[in-house]
Each structure stands twice: as C-alpha cells, then as structure tokens.
Homo-oligomer: A and B are copies of this chain.
Amino acid sequence: MRTWIMGATALAATMVTGMAEAQELIVEKKVFELPSFTTQSGRTLKQVRVGWESYGTLAPDRSNAVLICHFFSGNSHAAGKYDAADAQPGYWDAIIGPGKAIDTDRYFVIASDTLVNLNTGDPRTTTTGPASIDPDTGKPYGLDFPVVTIRDFVEVQKALVESLGIKRLALVAGPSMGSLQTFEWAASHPEMVAKAMPVIGAAEANAMLIGWLDVWAAPILVDPDWNNGDYYGKAPPLAGLAKALTAVTLQANHEDWAGATFDRRPARAGEEPGKALRNKFQVQSVLDNAGEARARLSDANHFLYLVKANQLFAAGGTSLADGMARIRAPLLYITQPKDLVFTPETVARTVEAAREAGRDITHLTIDGVRGHLDGVMSMKQAEGAIRAFLER
C-alpha cells in the first residue's frame, strides 16, 4: 500500500535525523497520502494528502508514539527547526524535544497537518481542502468540497498513525483546535489513547463560540472577491481574509498584552488618529499588517471550512456529556483563565462534565499576558505537570 510505503520511508528518514542531532531537533516535512477517504458527511475523496513531521525514534514495540494536533491557524510544525539557521522553532518546541517535557529521547512524536489547513501558500504545509485539485475534474474543489469535521481530521491522523504500525498512542495532545482533536481522539478511539492532554480548549463548541467563529468569518463572506468560493485562478478575497485573521489574532490575545505592547500610541508619528478617519493607532496598524501578511499565505475557503469544523465540534459527535462518557484516557487539561476564546466559564463546563462522567482529569491553569495564546507560547510553565502526567 502506497501509504504504508510513504510512512515507512519517512520513518527511516526520521530515525537517521534523530540520531544525527543531539540537543537541537532538525526536522523535515513529510507527506502522507490516503488514496481514498470517506468523510463523516459521506463523501469519498481521492488522494487525500496531509503533511506531517516526527521527532524522536519509534520504539521497536511501537509503544512510545505521541500525537500532537495543531491549532486553527497552525500546521504540523510542532517542534524543532528545519535547519540550524531557522529563526523560529515549531510552536510547542518549549515542551517537545530531547530532554524536554515530551522527551524525544523517549517518545516518538508525530504531528500532522489537518484537512482544510489554512496555510495553503506555505510550501511546508500539505493539506486537502477546497483549494486542492479534485482529481475527478482537474479543478479546485471550491465549495464543492464536503463539510469536514474535527472527527475527519482525527480519522486522517488515525490512518497516518496506523500506517506506521502504531496501535495505541502514549499521548494525544494539542492546543486550541488541537485540543478539540485531542478530545475527539479520546472520545472516538478510546482504545487507542493512553493519555490525553487538551490545552486551551473544550470538549464542545458552545453557542457563544459558534457566534464568535462567525464574527471571524464575516469579512470573507462580504468580500466581493470571495465570489461564493469561486476565486481560484482569479483575485482571491485577500482583504476579507486579512480582516478575518486580524479578528483571530486579537481574540487569541489579551488586553494585558495589547495594553503593555501598544498602549494608545499612534501608528505613525505626525499622523494622530484623531486627525483623519484613516489614521490608526499602533495596535490597529500592527494587527492589520499581520492579518494582511498571513492572508497572502492562506486560503479563504479553508478558513470558512475550519470555522465550520470548529462550530460543529462536540467530542464524540453529540454532546459534552456523551463525549465524556466515551473517554477512557486520563486527562491533563491545561487552560488559561484569561483566554477569550475558550473562556473560564467554558472550561468549567468541560471540567464539570468530565467529573460527572467519572473521568480522571487533572486541571492545570497557566498564566501570562497573551490569554489564549499562552497555551501555545507559555507552555514551559506546564513542564513539571506534563512530566508527572507522562510518568504516571
């Protein structure tokens, strides 16, 4: 089977890489392909491809595998660098690596891109979604791509994991949308998940989050270049996508960070915000520029499909109570009380549902000035708790 071969080749490459490196992980992106994949909504897609990375070495008995699931705007670059000169390591590098909390001297850590991943313009992301070519038509799917769910993301990961001969994961973990996948893994495949570490997320998208996700998506829908999803080969809806990404960035942060970083400084000296409607404060300018830069590497339809997948999410498919009833894995649930996306109230409901279902849950809060983003950027705080959880 082609997927097996690709997996095995990639695995061999990783083992070599793993041995060559001592304290710094140098990683390479690999591609996993499924000749055929049927979505939860019942559509069969051909040639489903996702990128993936791995860190560490798979044990001969294949018992040391860890799966890391990425956040909304992230990809499979969870740790390490692509080369020694790389300025920025993967997003959870603080807790994944040789001797780190998720110790790649002990664990074989896998991270994969999801379906409908946002970063279609990034050469190191591989995904399948509306921007992909439909093998049957030779054209991008556009809105003909089926609705996909967090469960679909998990099923593709399961195929990847199984292609490596892994029957059970020592840990599934991830921040934000990665935590949704983590809860989904634990609820849908309890026999395959020894431990689960959902970070800055919840086991269900509640009504408020559904509403916020619509606020994020709104500028895309209004952008005339979106054209009901039919813009491939034409001007893409960059303005709408940039504003959408600006909203994500703002809500993923916190006023402690915004206040300390920007206060009420104007974007440019001599262009006081009060002098003209277009003159900006620095916070507006920085967020807009970041949104525009990210939009150029992203796809608007993928953004909308990610929004949909997140809105549809309930671990196990129906409800918080049902999802928790299915889970068997001990949970290390790490959240940030200043999180504006998965708020303390939302987190409390997930904790309560876990306890009502008799789950083995340890709830740890981290702090910082970034709010939601502390679950990506400030994870070193949780190092001791993660080690203790893995040792149990």
Contact = CB atoms under 8 A, between A and B. Distances in A.
A35 interface: no
Nearest to A371: B208
Contacts of A143: 277
Copies in the complex: 2
Given A214-B246, A222-B222, A223-B222, A276 B147 contact: yes
Interface in A55-94: none
Contact of A218 (B41, B243, B256, B345): B243
B273 A208 contact: no
A273 B239 contact: no
B218 A247 contact: yes
Contacts of A212: 250
Contact of A277 (B147, B204, B275, B340): B147
Contact of A41 (B41, B275, B284, B311): B275
Interface residues of A, number: 61
Interface in A194-228: 204-212, 214-215, 218-219, 221-224
Given A246-B218, A346-B255, A263 B304 contact: no
A314 interface: yes
A239 B253 CA distance: 28
29 contacts: A41-B274, A41-B275, A149-B274, A205-B264, A206-B258, A207-B282, A208-B283, A209-B255, A210-B281, A210-B284, A211-B283, A211-B287, A214-B284, A215-B243, A215-B247, A215-B251, A218-B219, A218-B246, A219-B222, A221-B243, A222-B222, A222-B240, A224-B224, A255-B343, A255-B345, A255-B346, A256-B345, A264-B314, A284-B311
